[in-house]
Amino acid sequence: MSDDRMKIPGSDHPITLVREMSRAVIRAAGRQIGETGDVLTLHESAYAPVHYVPRGDLDMNLFTRTATRTFCPYKGEASYFSLAVGDDVHPDAAWSYETPYPAVAPIAYYIAFFPGHTELIFRER
């Protein structure tokens, strides 16, 4: 992918991806909305780690794509989703990179959540 806005992670801005060895249950509004054995944790520079979950392991009927888009020079363009569980609606609660830059290609079509909207509970395999 050639994009003159793209930056490559390096010693000044490191990015690493770690595949978690535990299964995870994802909950929102007291309800399980997914379960996976394929969580990717992205560690980027001095930011807090972010857990990414495959869309196929979530109840995507609870998500609605929004018009919100953001750009990261290290990851690319992110699309956003609102999450609705019953009457509990969280606008722009999650984001996903559908065509991320090569350095983070494994997170394509995975979803990450802003804190406070969901809980990710890790369990031993």
Q: Which two tokens mark 37?
A: 């054995």
In this predicted model, what pLDDT tens digit does every residue of 43-101 receive, in sequence order?
Answer: 999 999 999 999 999 999 999 999 999 999 999 999 999 999 999 999 999 999 999 99
Write down the architecture of domain 15-123 according to CATH: Beta Complex (2.170)
Q: Residue 9 has what pLDDT?
A: 96
Domain range list for the chain: 15-123
Q: What is the percent of the chain where pLDDT is above 90?
A: 90
Q: Which two tokens mark 26?
A: 């994802």
Q: Report strand pairing: 63-72 vs 23-28.
A: unpaired
- How far are the Cα atoms of 20, 40, 51, 67, 108 from residue 96, in angstroms, in the given order? 18, 13, 11, 13, 7
Q: Residue 123 has what pLDDT?
A: 87
Average pLDDT over residues 100-116: 96
Instruction: For CA atoms 122, 56, 51, 18, give the dihedral sign.
Output: positive
**CA triple 99-45-104, angle to 5 deg:** 20
